[in-house]
Structure 1
């Protein structure tokens, strides 16, 4: 089964909140579906690994973060984090290869809960 954006857009709210194994963030049913169907638990791990005091002290990132993964045709990708879509990224991670099934995905981290834009 291939993950589609339409499947993710169908999530509106959540019934469950899951704690990430690092213990510093939580995520919704939609994000769990993304990670399971897209085989992308690594993406949750990457986002959780950046939740450091240094990052959280910048541009109100303790309250809200916009994360975006953009996959290039050669299957390399860039993961960015910013406090708002109008601000420059405070995190930019180059990923040499991914088999992530979508060309782009945005996730919000609001008050330590990672969610899909449709769940916000």
Structure 2
């Protein structure tokens, strides 16, 4: 099932930065994706940190599972090539959580930007979120098992009054 974020707005309401710049594929794993992968949902290609640094930002956005969270092409590439739609969906699920609301009450900077990091060691991951580098974490989730192919992934969440955009640091 392919979704289009434009359906959430009437023509006059669509924010200018989103006008005609939304890619229609969503980040949900779908029947079409299974068919494209020959039925293997766990198929992954090789991905490196260097691959991710090549993304420098543009106006294309992809939908996540959360209605106010959209993603850049770099995040979409990470999810597709690392088999990490689960990571994007996990981060997106925190945006209406009590932990996020509490973090915003304690540090107003969190309302505008969040720095997420997945650290992986021995097929165990730890996902954290901070207001800024060197600040204490306000979200910490242990991932008991992951086959995520990198030792870490940094994802920034940049929020405005309409959406939070998940992006790679190089796309900021």
Question: TM-score under structure 1 normalisation?
Answer: 0.93
- Partner SS for 1:50: helix
Q: How many residue pairs get matched? A: 119
| Pairing 1:63–2:63 present | no
What is the aligned partner in structure 2 of residue 83 from structure 1?
131
CA distance in 2, matches of 1:15, 1:85: 26
Match of 2:72 among 28, 33, 49: 28
Higher relative CO (CA 8 A, sep ≥ 6), structure 1 or 2? 1
CA distance in 2, matches of 1:109, 1:118: 13
* Largest Rg, 1 or 2: 2
Structure 1 stretches of 4+ with a deviation exceeding 3 A read none
Residue pairs, 1:94-113, within 5 angstroms: 94-111=142-159, 112-113=164-165
From the superposition, tell whether residues 2 and 65 of structure 1 become closer, same or farther in structure 2 (CA, over 3 Å): same
Task: Confirm or deny: 8 A CA contact 2:65 2:93 kept in the other structure.
Answer: no
Task: Confirm or deny: 8 A CA contact 1:14 1:30 kept in the other structure.
Answer: no
Structure 1, unmatched stretches of 5+, are none
| Pairing 1:115–2:115 present | no
- Partner SS for 1:61: helix
Task: Confirm or deny: 8 A CA contact 1:67 1:80 kept in the other structure.
Answer: yes
Q: Give the deviation of 1:53 after TM superposition.
A: 5.7
Deviation digits for residues 94-117 of structure 1 (CA, Å, limit 9, x no counterpart): 011100000011010001000001
- Of the structure 1 ranges 10-19 and 55-64, higher mean CA displacement relative to structure 2 is found in 55-64
- Partner SS for 2:65: coil
Q: Give the deviation of 1:52 after TM superposition.
A: 2.1
What is the aligned partner in structure 1 of residue 92 from structure 2?
48
What is the aligned partner in structure 2 of residue 13 from structure 1?
57
Q: Give the deviation of 1:24 after TM superposition.
A: 2.3
